[in-house]
């Protein structure tokens, strides 16, 4: 019969329509927008309403998510100990070359120091590829999760300097827990190895 194909198709859309209400009943109208419900609604289980009610609820990024780089520092906001040693690998590895580093110099001897004096990322060039974080040997530069960066002026706000780029190590631990844990583990193992070697050396003496 002519039109049967269309009806068949319409039955699919009808099913989707009904499913949204099934979802409502299943969750209870009030509980549909809780964080637990959001997780289910956004998984392969999703049947009904699929929408994330941004900005009221936010679909949290995955751990590996990357959006413009930031620099990890230890210590407090006033006394920032950047992990960065100004080795420049990130600036070299960056495919669109959007990182500028000025290495600090000893004011007296003029010798280069292992920290940056200035550090810039032009986020109008940055392609969020994550190469800087990937090749950094010190885990000093990382990719951020904060994507809410919209603003009205790019002339002043879109070249991130050292102050703007710096974020505490606690923040890093929060957004990338597995990476941070692995890093700490490696550090502990290294310290243990060093202590063992030290002890062995002492024994030899």
Partner 1 sequence: MTDELTHPNIPVPEDLKGTVTLATWEKFYNWCRARSVWPMFFGLACCAFEMIAMATSRFDFARFGMEVMRASPRQADLMIVAGTVTKKMAPQVVRLYNQMAEPRYVVSMGACANGGGPFKEGYSVVSGIDKLIPVDVYVPGCPPTPQALLHGFVTLHKMIENTKYKDMIWYHNRGQGEEFAIPVLGPDIFDPRQIPLIQSEAAKTPVAANDSE
Partner 2 sequence: MNEQVAESEGVQLDAAVGSVEQASQALREAFPGKVRPDEREGYEGVIVDADALVDAALFLRDQLGFRYLSSVTGVDYANDGLLESVYHAYGAESGALVFKVQVGCGNPEIPSLVSVWPSANFQERESYDMYGIRYAGHPNLQRILTWEGFAGHPMRKDWREPYYEEEHKPFKTRHPDGGVFRAEDRNPFGRNVQYSPGFDPAKWEDIAQSAVYDGLMREVKEEGLQTETITVNVGPQHPSTHGVLRVVVVLDGETVVDLMPVLGYLHRNHEKIGERCTFPQIIPYTDRLDYICSMSNGLGYVLAVEKLIGIQPPERAEYIRVIMAELTRIVNHLMAIGFLWNDVGAYFTPVIYAFNERELILDLFEMVSGSRMMCNYMRVGGVFEDLPAGWMEKARALVYDRLPRFVDEFHRLLSENEIWRSRSMGVGILPAEQAVAMGASGPLLRASGVPYDIRRVEPYSIYDRFDFDVVVRHNADVYDRFLVRMEEMRQSLRILRQAMNQIPAGPVQTGKKNWTMKVPAGEAYHRIEAPKGELGFYLVSDGGSNPWRYHVRSTSMINLTPLAEMCRGHKIADVVVILGSIDITLGEVDR
Q: Is 11 in the site for partner 2 (CB under 8 A)?
A: yes
Quote the radius of gyration of the chain (alpha carbons, Å).
25
Q: In the complex with partner 2, which residue's Cβ is closer, 11 or 76?
A: 11
Interface positions, 159-198, toward partner 1 (CB under 8 A)? none
Interface positions, 43-102, toward partner 1 (CB under 8 A)? 50-55, 58-59, 61, 67-68, 95-97
CA distances from 84 to 132, 145, 180 (A): 12, 20, 16
Q: In the complex with partner 2, which residue's Cβ is closer, 13 or 76?
A: 13
Bridge partners of 71, per DSSP, are 141, 166
Cβ at position 180, least distance to partner 2 in Å: 14
Q: What CA–CA distance (Å, rounded) separates 25 from 99?
A: 52
CB atoms within 10 A of CB 80: 16
Q: What CA–CA distance (Å, rounded) separates 24 from 31?
A: 9
Q: Is 122 in the site for partner 1 (CB under 8 A)?
A: yes
Q: What is the contact surface with partner 2 in residues (CB under 8 A)?
A: 2-6, 8-9, 11-13, 16, 42-46, 50, 61-66, 86, 88-89, 91-95, 97, 99-103, 112, 118, 120, 122, 127-131, 134-135, 143, 159, 178
């Amino acid at each position: 019969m002519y039109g049967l194909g269309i009806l068949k198709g319409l039955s699919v859309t009808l099913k989707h329509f009904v499913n949204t209400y099934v979802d409502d009943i299943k969750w209870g109208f009030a509980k549909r927008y809780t964080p637990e419900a959001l997780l289910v609604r956004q998984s392969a289980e999703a049947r009904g309403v699929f929408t994330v009610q941004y900005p009221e609820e936010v679909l949290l990024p995955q751990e590996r998510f990357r959006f413009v780089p930031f620099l990890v520092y230890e210590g407090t906001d006033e006394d920032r100990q950047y992990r960065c040693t100004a080795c420049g690998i990130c600036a070299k590895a960056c495919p669109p070359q959007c990182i500028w580093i000025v290495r600090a110099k000893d004011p007296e001897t003029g010798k280069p120091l292992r920290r940056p004096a200035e550090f810039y990322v032009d986020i109008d060039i940055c392609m969020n590829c994550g190469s800087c974080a990937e090749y950094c040997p010190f885990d000093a530069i990382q990719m951020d999760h904060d994507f809410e960066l919209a603003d009205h002026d790019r002339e002043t706000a879109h070249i991130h300097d050292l102050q703007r780029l710096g974020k505490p190590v606690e923040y890093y631990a929060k957004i990338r827990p597995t990476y941070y844990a692995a890093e700490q583990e490696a550090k502990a193992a290294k310290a243990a190895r060093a202590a063992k070697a030290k002890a062995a050396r002492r024994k030899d003496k």
